[in-house]
């Protein structure tokens, strides 16, 4: 970064008009790049199930143009866009009983990329046999799970276990899948989950009044791939501990958006969303998620298209420019940085510690991968269901007589987080019960 003395003079725009570079290690996600290879070692959501109809669907993930389809036997396939014969696009192919047929010359492929038929060539001809034995259509394994379609785009021999989080199994909850597109690099969107300060300013008028309080912030790095940012706010006689969570590479949860305002006690209320930030290419990304509704999540009346848009970014998506200026949401904040932010010109401070921690860890894991060291997996965090922390807790904590409220709020945060961490040793079905009862005793 340039540090000329002229940068600190009044009206110093002329001395700061240089173009800053971006963080190539983290921002670039095409095949062959360090971060692109790193992200390909994990299961990634690539589509909402209901968006996949009878015809193939062209998608782009991690810089790759791919075709998603469901054959007439019900199997879902994810394959390279171009037919290996003469490179026609399979987005115009026909879904058949056992796979997808190219529109140009009729070659038929199953979901694994196997060539099943080569019309125009006798089945027993030497060229047809040789092609079937030596060529495949590029394909990736997929898993349809509760309304989202996940794919693994990495080396087949390194395919990890599909991670199952406790958020999938909370009883009496409605989970609605959604997708939100952002016209910017994925890091700009992911940063916000471990940035408690932005909530108090960007969202202070979009959720509840308590969101406008910065509170006391703490940051945690656990298990090498889990990062937490907490904000403990004073709301009347209560202390409100809100926990945002990132599990690398891109799984995110937070507290609720509309379920609490800090005025009523709440014990380990769970996340408003269960969400992944997935790069489309270096200048676009998509947040794939479930909105979580019920007594432990957000109120069921927010289970609408507009409600989930507000939960995702604070505002609905389809607005005029004047409305966006008047009340910007996450999209305006992160897209306003540019398609790829000038990271070289950032000046990170104490409140950005969560951002610093997780970026540093991803960078290290990317570099390790180039040395042949496989990255840790979310499924390694537990033998079975993976415990998660995104939550809200509101407990009574009257102001102390000496007026040192900051110290009191920090103690409340420490006690709440200690209880939540101790719950990790409990069986999945008993963990929430243990945490809630222990929090009540505080």
Model confidence at 196, pLDDT cuts 50, 70, 90, reads confident
Q: Which residue has the higher pLDDT, 200 or 44?
A: 44
Q: Is the pLDDT of residue 7 over 80?
A: no
Model confidence at 198, pLDDT cuts 50, 70, 90, reads confident
**With DSSP H G I counted as helix, E B as strand and the rest as coil, what are the percentages for the chain, rounded to 5?**
35, 25, 40
**What does the pLDDT look like over 318-350, one tens digit per residue?**
999 999 999 988 999 999 999 999 999 999 999
Please state whether beta strands 284-294 and 273-281 pair in parallel, antiparallel, or not at all (unpaired): antiparallel
For residue 386, what are the CA distances in angstroms to 80, 97, 168, 381, 427? 32, 37, 10, 6, 10
**What does the pLDDT look like over 206-246, one tens digit per residue?**
677 777 778 899 999 999 999 999 999 999 999 999 999 99
Query: pTM for this one?
Result: 0.94
Q: Is the separation of the CB atoms in 286 and 181 below 8 Å? A: yes
% residues pLDDT > 70 (the chain):
98
Collapse the DSSP code of 7 into the 3-class scheme (helix H, G, I; strand E, B; otherwise coil) and give the result. Answer: helix
**What does the pLDDT look like over 69-104, one tens digit per residue?**
999 999 999 999 999 999 999 999 999 999 999 999
User: What pLDDT does residue 128 have?
Assistant: 85
Domains of the chain are 43-158 (2.102.10.10), 166-441 (no CATH)
Measured at the alpha carbon of residue 110, what is the angle toward residues 105 and 112, in degrees to the nearest 5?
A: 125
Q: Is the pLDDT of residue 372 over 90?
A: yes
The alpha carbon of residue 187 and the mean position of all alpha carbons in its chain are separated, in whole angstroms, by 10
């Amino acid at each position: 970064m340039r540090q000329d003395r002229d940068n600190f003079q009044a009206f110093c725009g002329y001395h700061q008009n240089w173009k800053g570079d971006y963080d190539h290690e983290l921002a670039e996600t095409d095949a062959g790049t360090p971060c692109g290879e790193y992200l390909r070692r994990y299961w990634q959501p690539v589509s909402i199930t209901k968006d996949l109809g009878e015809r193939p669907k062209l998608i782009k993930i991690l810089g790759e143009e791919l075709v998603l389809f469901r054959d007439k036997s019900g199997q879902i396939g994810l394959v390279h866009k171009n037919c290996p014969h003469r490179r026609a696009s399979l987005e115009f192919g026909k879904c058949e009983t056992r796979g997808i047929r190219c529109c140009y010359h009729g070659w038929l492929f199953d979901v694994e990329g196997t060539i099943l038929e080569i019309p125009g060539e006798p089945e027993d001809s030497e060229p047809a046999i040789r092609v079937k034995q030596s060529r495949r259509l590029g394909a990736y394994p997929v898993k349809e799970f509760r309304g989202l379609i996940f794919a693994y785009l990495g080396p087949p021999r390194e395919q990890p276990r599909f991670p199952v989080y406790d958020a999938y199994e909370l009883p009496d909850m409605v989970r609605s899948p959604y997708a939100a597109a952002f016209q910017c690099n994925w890091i700009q969107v992911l940063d916000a989950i471990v940035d408690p300060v932005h909530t108090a300013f960007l969202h202070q008028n979009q959720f509840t009044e308590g969101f406008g309080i910065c509170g006391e912030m703490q940051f945690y790095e656990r298990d090498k791939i889990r990062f937490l940012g907490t904000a403990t706010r004073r709301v009347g006689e209560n202390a409100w501990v809100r926990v945002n969570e990132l599990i690398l590479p891109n799984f995110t949860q937070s507290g609720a958006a509309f379920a609490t305002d800090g005025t009523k006690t709440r014990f380990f209320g769970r996340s408003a969303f269960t969400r992944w930030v997935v790069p489309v290419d270096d200048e676009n990304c998509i947040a794939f998620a479930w909105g979580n509704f019920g007594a432990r999540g957000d109120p069921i009346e927010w289970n609408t298209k507009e409600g989930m848009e507000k939960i995702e970014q604070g505002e609905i998506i389809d607005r005029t420019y004047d409305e966006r200026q008047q009340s910007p949401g996450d999209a305006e904040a992160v897209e306003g940085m540019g398609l790829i932010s000038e990271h070289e010109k950032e000046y990170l401070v104490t409140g950005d510690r969560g951002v610093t921690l997780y970026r540093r860890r991803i960078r290290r894991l990317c570099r390790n991968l180039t040395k042949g060291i496989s990255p840790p997996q979310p499924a390694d965090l537990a033998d079975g269901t993976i415990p998660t922390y995104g939550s809200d807790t509101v407990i009574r904590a009257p102001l102390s007589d000496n007026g040192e409220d900051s110290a009191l709020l920090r103690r409340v945060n420490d006690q709440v987080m200690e209880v939540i961490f101790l719950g990790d040793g409990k069986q999945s079905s008993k963990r929430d019960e243990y945490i809630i009862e222990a929090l009540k005793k505080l």
